[in-house]
Chains A and B, each alone.
Chain A
Amino acid sequence: DAKTTQPTSMDCAEGRAANLPCNHSTISGNEYVYWYRQIHSQGPQYIIHGLKNNETNEMASLIITEDRKSSTLILPHATLRDTAVYYCIVRVRDNYGQNFVFGPGTRLSVLP
């Protein structure tokens, strides 16, 4: 199973771009990279996902390296409400179908 490695914590100044890295060096060719975040006492919130190409939506951009061994989630203009734990997940096929394995994530603190 592909596993991910993320920094434990990061700080970002309000209004600046937040760049959250993720390593997934054992990813297989057909496995998607997903990003979720979890704000305290809420459920995980879907942000974005991608396979090979870079992706952008109203929340964020996802940059995946050409070899697919790492990716970066970019929040272009971080606000205080973006303070959360961010999870980089490689969706794997397991005995229960295809499920999400949430690791410890990166705790992002957006500072005023």
Chain B
Amino acid sequence: DAGITQSPRHKVTETGTPVTLRCHQTENHRYMYWYRQDPGHGLRLIHYSYGVKDTDKGEVSDGYSVSRSKTEDFLLTLESATSSQTSVYFCAISESILTSQPQHFGDGTRLSIL
């Protein structure tokens, strides 16, 4: 299995508080992604990174920011959490962005915003 660690695995917090989720990889892959998974929506891309300090928005980026200061770490921040951001968040990595290369996923962070 790809070396991807997400932390925390579970978090419960209140509306309006800031939340940061961490994705750590040991594969030295250039590309990293944040998805959220909700019933009826499958996985939706939030943000992705194509290198250190290089990030871009995905399909559902509103309310989220990311940072990548090192190859191995990709952080997802909810500046002011809302109940609509209750979800399971998955980090993924890939060696390249070519369609011939798979993405490998972490085990997710279950986030509940009360």
**A positions within 8 Å CB-CB of B:** 30-32, 34, 36, 41-46, 49, 51, 91, 93, 96-104
Q: Which residue of A lies closest to B37 (CB)?
A: A102
Contacts of A46 in B (CB 8 A): 102-105
Contacts of A31 in B (CB 8 A): 99
Contact across chains for A96 and B106 when beta carbons are under 8 A apart: no
Q: Return A88 CB to nearest CB of chain B, in Å.
A: 12
Q: Which residue of B lies closest to A39 (CB)?
A: B107
Q: Return A87 CB to nearest CB of chain B, in Å.
A: 8
Q: Which residue of B lies closest to A51 (CB)?
A: B100
**A-B CB contact pairs (8 Å), 20 listed:** A32-B100, A41-B107, A42-B107, A44-B105, A45-B1, A46-B105, A49-B100, A51-B100, A93-B99, A96-B45, A96-B48, A97-B48, A97-B97, A98-B99, A99-B45, A99-B48, A99-B58, A101-B42, A101-B43, A104-B42
Contact across chains for A96 and B42 when beta carbons are under 8 A apart: no
Interface size on B, residues (CB 8 A): 25
Contacts of A41 in B (CB 8 A): 107-108
Partner of A43, one of B48, B50, B106: B106
Asked if B12 is at the interface (CB within 8 A of a chain A CB), the reply is no
Contacts of B45 in A (CB 8 A): 96, 99
Other contacts beyond A43-B105, A91-B99, A97-B56: 12, CB < 8 A: A31-B99, A42-B107, A43-B106, A43-B107, A44-B90, A44-B105, A46-B105, A49-B100, A49-B102, A96-B45, A99-B48, A100-B43
Contacts of B58 in A (CB 8 A): 96, 99
Assembled-state Cα–Cα distance A103/B102 (Å): 17
Assembled-state Cα–Cα distance A101/B48 (Å): 15
Asked if B62 is at the interface (CB within 8 A of a chain A CB), the reply is no
Assembled-state Cα–Cα distance A104/B43 (Å): 10
Interface centre among B50, B57, B58, B103 (most CB of A within 10 A): B103
Contact across chains for A102 and B99 when beta carbons are under 8 A apart: no
Assembled-state Cα–Cα distance A102/B59 (Å): 13
